[in-house]
Amino acid sequence: MATRMVSVAGIELECAEAGAGAPLLMLHGAGGFDPRHPVNALLARQRRLICPSHPGFGKSALPDWLDSVDDIAHVYLELMDQLGLRTVDLIGCSVGGWIAAEMATKAPERFTKIVFVGPVGVKTGSPDRLDVPDIFALPAEELNQRLFHDPNKMVPDPASLR
C-alpha cells in the first residue's frame, strides 16, 4: 500500500491507499494499522481502499486540542472532503467502529454501507445497561467471558513467559 501524509485541520495524518474502484474507507482498531495485513490486498482487488492512521497512531500527529472520538469523526469527514469522497462504504474495526458510528451520526448521507467489526466504546442506552459494553470499564473476568468461547484457555501461564 502506498502511504502519504495528508494535512487535515492542522493535523498531519498518515494515509495508506491501494486499489481502484468505488472508495472504501477503513478505520483501524486500537492496535494500529498494518498495511501488510492480508485483508487489505483482498479489499483492494476491487475497491479503492483508504486507510488513515488515527491521530496519535503510526506517523499521524496528535494535537493538544483533539481529545475525543467526536473530534476524530469530524477530522475524518474533513479528510473525505479533501480526498474528494462524496460518499464511501465504511468499515470500522474496534475503536475505528466507534469513530465510524460517530461519523454516521453527523453525516449519514455520506455512507452507502457501514460495517462494524467488534466496535468498542459505543455508548447507547442508560449508563448501567449499555447496548455495546465498554470493554475498557469491564473487570477482566467479565471481559474474558465476553471475548472468548472458552475463557479458561486464555488464562496466561506465567511459567511459559521466559
Same domain, 46 and 23: yes
- Which pTM does this prediction carry? 0.77
Q: How wide is the angle at C-alpha 24 spanned by C-alphas 18 and 27, nearest 5°?
A: 90
Domain containing 86 equals 2-122
The string of DSSP codes covering 105-130 is HH-GGGEEEEEEES--S---S-TTS-
Per-residue tens of pLDDT for the chain, all 162 residues: 999 999 999 999 999 999 999 999 999 998 888 888 899 999 999 999 999 999 999 999 999 999 899 999 999 999 999 999 999 999 999 999 999 999 999 999 999 999 999 888 776 666 666 566 677 778 888 888 887 888 887 777 777 776
Same domain, 96 and 134: no
DSSP label at residue 8: E
Look-up: residue for cell 458510528? 101
CATH number of the domain to which 22 belongs: 3.40.50.1820
Residue 70, helix vs strand vs coil: helix
Q: For the chain, how many structural domains are there in total?
A: 2
Same domain, 118 and 147: no
